[in-house]
Chains A and B, each alone.
Chain A
Amino acid sequence: MSSRTSVEDRLRQHYRSEAGQAGYAAPADLWAGIAERLGLEDSRVPTPSLRGSANGASGRGAAQRLPRARRWAMRGVAGLAGAAVVMAGVNHFAPRWVIAAAASLHGQSPAAEGEVLRGDPGLWPLFQQGAFQPVQLSATHGGVTLTMLDVYADANRTVVVYRIDGPAAPQGTVETEPWQVRTDNASASADAALSGRQPPVPQRYRVTLRDPFGWPHDATEIDGLGNLGYIVFPPLPGWLRTLGVHLTLHVEAVGDTLAKGDPFGPRTFRTVTGPWDIPFVALPAQAPVLALNPAVRAADGGTTLTLTSVRTTASGTWMDLSADGLPPDTSGHFARYRVEGPNGDTVRPTAVARSGDRIAAQFPPLTRAGVYTLVVESDGRVWRLPWRQPDWSGQQPHWGPAPTTQTGPLAEGAPDADIYTGTSLVTAARLSGLPVHGVPAGWRLVQVSVTPDFRPPLSGDRSTTPYAVQLTLTNAAGVTLTVTETRTLWSLIPASESLAVYRASMARASGSNVDGPRIGQYEGMATHLWVVRTMDPAHTATLRVPVLYLYPSWGSIEVAPVPGKTQGLDEAALERLVTEVAQAWWAAPVIPR
């Protein structure tokens, strides 16, 4: 109680003291200051409302005359409306600020979904590091479900990973091509033309990504393995990538290919039209871009190439070239391209496109500092276009741990498509789930690799492992060949064509590089023997190489010599060799997993 009294007393003393110092009365000039600020000279001043009435009732004056409750109600409604507009605008144009937590979802996609990206040396490491944003949104039309799995965006491209789940093949048919995004009905037209049927009316189907302003951006590339695939769109503007963006994936048609009776029987193209529209919010990870404009030129044979821009992101390096003096009849892919890096390494492009005198080349990301040289070769002409690149590794995004592979080192730029490369048949059998046989007597195992193969398995059972296993074997003479097995249909016949249609097309062609197949039987399996005309690696001679296929009930086995490693054996000797190896391979015991 004493402390309470003490505090209260101290307060009274304190307040009394302050008031005493300041004076209990208000300063004498208080009114003067107020009157001066308000301009109160006259004894009577019209009120704002009266002034408003006299001057014709301004809006403010009219508002002040409204009852207080109504004014507050109006303010409340206006405030809510304004807040709603602001929230809608922010949500639509800057969803990153609204759904910031979604950014934490990066890198949680099932690893299997990323297998489709293995062929892209820029995207695959990014997927492994968790740079892709899981989406997992679906749309269904006509019994076909299109699921958008992941999205990635940087200054070079916007990539959407998808999966299509459609009805199984009807009884009596085999699905030879999986459900995939269709951009036209050209396959059906070609098949109809080759088989003598009336081709359908040509039809194009659009695949677009609609931005928040409603503008559609057409896909530039569609790739995939089986019913998994990815679609590449042009890059989004930088500010949209920063804010996050509402996008809509628009797919107009999907389809698969069926074979009637056996895998080489007549084809049927099932096409289901949608559209499938999947709105989603893309929250791209922050991905820096190194944009250079080298403007370096090189001339040869009357043609001048100019390297106008080099744009590097984590997913790849995009180069733009212009060509002056190119003859009008120059074929689309008139040249070969490569980049020589600072350490003397060579990088091959992942894609090259040409439109008139503009050429765009895509390479794996070139992120080291130093001098690079783009080398373009065509018909003995060489253009060398060097540029210097700064060190910007510190700006590279770090989404997660560096990708690890079970493979040995591969040449830079080569797509790391294998999930395993080594010499362990046990590992290959375990990873693939396939019946891997032992090495035939007289042959030595050089390498075994496991590669994704997402095409439809011939058994129709989609739960089976989507992998192919390839062994590279060599004998004492140095002859080298490969044995490849998979659950899917491997053949020189395109999956979209029946054997009859393929033969018809070869018969109509003026010259074909493929002869066959010679159909046979071995141990109850159908066999196809083809002869392929090819060039030796030095491009100095034409080779005729036999390729043998065996079709057990669960899939395909291919036995093929490696061009350049045939040690001068003729076609007949090679045919005996592949046949003997195929039989010995089949007879060898299966490796336990």
Chain B
Amino acid sequence: MAGLEDVRGFLEGDADAFRRIVERESPALYRLAVWLTHDPAAAQDLVQEVFVRAWRHRRQLRTPERLTPWLHAILRRAHLDWRRRGWRREVPIADAPEHLERLTLRHGRVAPPAEDQVARDADGAALCEALDCLSPLDQAILALRYGDDLAVHEIARRLNLRPGAVATRIHRSLAKLRRHLAEDAGTGGATERAQRRNR
């Protein structure tokens, strides 16, 4: 968490303080953005957008101690905007190679896959699809819980939720994922889809 002096400086328009806040807060935000978008480039854009919005609307931060939850809230809104704009679907022809590269990054593969790699890709693809069925907030909660290994109360603090609500959402999200993955395994759909993508 950024020091309170830096936050106060940020609120007063101190660019140096702001830069220090960016350096301290961006890793966690970036990781979360990657987990939400499955796309490092998009995650970088999102985090950049978060800090741009934060600077422009810094007067809205009434309590310096709540900078981190405030930034996470901005990230969630930016993520929603990103989903609404369908960034993942709008791929100009000129950007197609880059987009393909992002897809390979998402599924952790660049070279033609070995058989065991196909299986891992299939597993990752199935999980990604299952995660996409969750709400953005639930995705963020799971990412902080299992990606950053944060405790429930810390997730609640960052996302400005009650701990009970976080626990409930984790429970329900896991149930949804299990159901989705079980159905997918039953049909073998994810493996087939992954193999088709890898051909």
User: Which A residues contact B (CB, under 8 angstroms)?
Assistant: 3-4, 7-8, 10-12, 14-19, 21-27, 30-31, 33-35, 37-38, 40, 42-50, 64, 68
Contacts and interface: CB of A to CB of B under 8 A. Distances in A.
Residue from the set A18, A38, A45, A64 with the largest chain B CB neighbour count within 10 Å: A18
A43 B106 CA distance: 38
Interface stretch (B67-75, B140-148, B154-162): B140-148
A14 B127 contact: yes
Residue from the set A22, A44, A45 with the largest chain B CB neighbour count within 10 Å: A22
A30 B181 contact: no
Contacts of B22: 30-31, 34
Nearest to A17: B108
Contact of B147 (A7, A15, A37): A15
A35 to B, nearest CB: 8
Interface in B115-172: 123-124, 127-128, 142-143, 146-147, 149
Interface in B1-57: 11-16, 18-19, 22-23, 26-27, 29-31, 34-35, 38, 40, 43-44, 47-48, 51-52, 55-56
22 contacts: A3-B178, A7-B181, A8-B174, A11-B147, A14-B124, A16-B147, A21-B108, A22-B31, A22-B40, A22-B105, A23-B40, A24-B27, A26-B44, A30-B30, A30-B48, A35-B19, A37-B52, A38-B56, A40-B18, A42-B15, A45-B14, A46-B13
A566 B170 CA distance: 101
A37 B146 CA distance: 33
Residue from the set A16, A21, A40, A49 with the largest chain B CB neighbour count within 10 Å: A21
Given A17-B124, A43-B15, A47-B59, A4 B147 contact: no
A12 B48 contact: no
A37 B62 contact: no
B66 interface: no
Interface string B78-116: 000000000000000000000000000110100000000
Given A15-B35, A27-B30, A10 B13 contact: no
Contact of B47 (A30, A38, A45, A49): A30
A16 B178 CA distance: 19
B19 A31 contact: yes
In the A-B complex, list the 6 residue pairs whose CB atoms are closest, starting with the nearest: A15-B147, A22-B40, A26-B26, A11-B146, A26-B30, A47-B13
Contacts of B34: 18-19, 22
B13 A15 contact: no
Contacts of A27: 30, 40, 44
Contact of B43 (A22, A38, A48, A49): A22
B77 interface: no
B127 A10 contact: yes
Residue from the set A23, A25, A26 with the largest chain B CB neighbour count within 10 Å: A26
Contacts of A49: 59
Given A21-B105, A26-B47, A7 B174 contact: yes
Contacts of B18: 40
Given A3-B182, A10-B127, A43-B16, 7 more contacts: A11-B146, A12-B149, A14-B127, A19-B31, A23-B40, A27-B44, A40-B19
Nearest to A9: B146
Contacts of A19: 31, 34-35, 147
Contacts of A37: 48, 52
B58 to A, nearest CB: 7
Interface of B: 11-16, 18-19, 22-23, 26-27, 29-31, 34-35, 38, 40, 43-44, 47-48, 51-52, 55-56, 58-60, 62, 105-106, 108, 123-124, 127-128, 142-143, 146-147, 149, 174, 177-178, 181-182
Contact of B48 (A11, A34, A45): A34
A7 B124 CA distance: 12
Contacts of B146: 8, 11-12, 15
B48 A33 contact: yes
B35 A38 contact: no
A18 B35 contact: yes
Contacts of B58: 47
Residue from the set A17, A34, A44 with the largest chain B CB neighbour count within 10 Å: A34
A14 B121 CA distance: 11
A50 B11 CA distance: 11
A64 B124 CA distance: 46
A68 B62 contact: yes
Contacts of A4: 174, 178
A7 B47 contact: no
Nearest to B30: A26
A44 B18 CA distance: 10
B40 A47 contact: no
B154 to A, nearest CB: 16
Contacts of A45: 13-15
Contacts of B55: 34, 38, 40
Contacts of A68: 60, 62
A11 B127 contact: yes
B75 to A, nearest CB: 13
Nearest to B182: A3
A41 to B, nearest CB: 8
A193 B147 CA distance: 103
A297 B141 CA distance: 81
Nearest to A33: B48
B38 A18 contact: yes
A10 B48 contact: no
B142 A11 contact: yes
Contacts of B62: 68
Contacts of B108: 17-18, 21
B13 A44 contact: yes
A23 B40 CA distance: 8
A12 B147 contact: yes
Contacts of B35: 15, 18-19
A40 B147 contact: no
Contacts of A25: 27, 30
Contacts of A33: 44, 48
A17 B47 CA distance: 20
Given A37-B52, A48-B59, A31 B23 contact: yes
Nearest to B145: A11
B142 to A, nearest CB: 6
B15 A44 contact: yes
A182 B181 CA distance: 79
Nearest to B48: A33
